[in-house]
Structure 1
């Protein structure tokens, strides 16, 4: 996170940059024209794109940016293609509540995971990129592919299995974005959120049957007991320990 009233001269970055203005605002002359961004707006920059940044007033502005290697973003652009070709972020400023929310959740996920390799972070990045390359994101109402229903059934049968967005998509003969979108249409959740939900449900059943918390966390597919506690409390409003004590 940065906080400054400094005016930045024209410069470039070697990576794709996606960020959000948290306070104040700025004007910027970029390769895509003169734009103005204020608190809540997403801001983007493409590799090699010349841009600057001038605060709107003496109070300056604060913002948060994430930078991504070119190959990572271009790889995800391939998932989003569906008959179109993408090679850059089209909007230097985007005023979209959903996109802003996705960015903030992605930032939190990266803070926890440290990279964009986890299913949660990867899913959030794909959805965010979809917002950034589509003027008016829209989805046709279509039937959910049978392969996605089968993927859901595999998760239902074994929520503790090792899953990744890439493998689930490949097994369904879909791109990661196509799989993510179809799975959300089927369940109302991303694959990562759905798997966590199933694991929490399993943990609740095991606790209810008297299994110890340390054993429950391992048997439910969580990395450790603290991970289980966070997921459990987020969904039930109480910790696994409190739940176990309440039903004892």
Structure 2
């Protein structure tokens, strides 16, 4: 794979996205709306998230949780390469229910589980060779079009071995109750032109109070959080086939170039290259 390339491959499991990458890009702080689990194939990186600062070398298992603010930079001057599987929350919710012995959820149950059963990867980077081998085997199977039965079974093994914490929760239990309405304003419509006064009014706090509380709860200022939600929305729209200009406008960016600058800074790839990879 050429240097600096991100390759999105077709997956045999709906709701599971396979991405291989090689880059020396230093990623700015950003978030994902999916779970991510993968393996560092070459080189090494240092990253910081809500779970602390860690280093990952070749063969390390690397993970990220939805909404987790994190970054990543290569150690030294070289590139690092990795393979990741990004899992929609509803997929993880269904698997975690099975692992817990609650039985397979129906479609309706899965939608409820995605809001109520919180599964979290506890280790952002860990040298766990057996798990790494299983993740790479799963990556190979889902991208090779192996039978759904085999892929489903291996996915369950991977998530069970990864040992994610499972707790019944609203998904916002770590956020102060006064902030939930303010954060929901951004989540429900990332493109909206909101002011700090709007967020303060929704939370019942002063503008200064909501500014400080928002940063403590999310790890980002309200403006930075809104930009991350806009980037995630733009990614979804691009994957769905919307034009780049349309995605930029629909996600609330001033123009396509504004979206492109932030997209590259966060993800290390331009929206155009992302669109090409997504359509591969």
TM-score normalised by structure 1 residue count: 0.50
Tell me the SS of whatever aligns to 2:131. Answer: helix
Tell me the SS of whatever aligns to 2:53. Answer: strand
Alignment of 1:225-240 (within 5 A): none
Shift, 1:86, TM fit = 5.5
* Inter-partner Cα distance in structure 1 for 2:164 and 2:139: 21
* Inter-partner Cα distance in structure 2 for 1:48 and 1:103: 22
Q: In the alignment, what sits opposite 2:138?
A: 106
Q: In the alignment, what sits opposite 1:165?
A: none
Please say if 1:17 is aligned against 2:6. no
Q: In the alignment, what sits opposite 1:43?
A: 62
Shift, 1:82, TM fit = 5.3
Q: Deviations for 1:7-66, whole angstroms, at most 9, x for unmatched residues? A: 100000011111110101001101111111000001010111000001111012111111
Shift, 1:134, TM fit = 6.2
* Inter-partner Cα distance in structure 2 for 1:129 and 1:13: 18
Deviates more, 1:50-59 or 1:73-82: 73-82
* Inter-partner Cα distance in structure 2 for 1:33 and 1:98: 24
Q: Deviations for 1:186-223, whole angstroms, at most 9, x for unmatched residues? A: xxxxxxxxxxxxxxxxxxxxxxxxxxxxxxxxxxxxxx
> Are the counterparts in 2 of residues 94 and 132 from structure 1 also a CA contact under 8 Å?
no
Q: Structure 1 segments of 4 or more deviating over 6 A?
A: none
Unaligned runs of 5+ in 2: 1-19, 103-116, 166-280
Match of 1:26 among 39, 45, 56: 45
* Inter-partner Cα distance in structure 2 for 1:25 and 1:60: 8
* Inter-partner Cα distance in structure 2 for 1:63 and 1:4: 9
Q: In the alignment, what sits opposite 1:126?
A: 156
* Inter-partner Cα distance in structure 1 for 2:121 and 2:99: 12
TM-score normalised by structure 2 residue count: 0.45
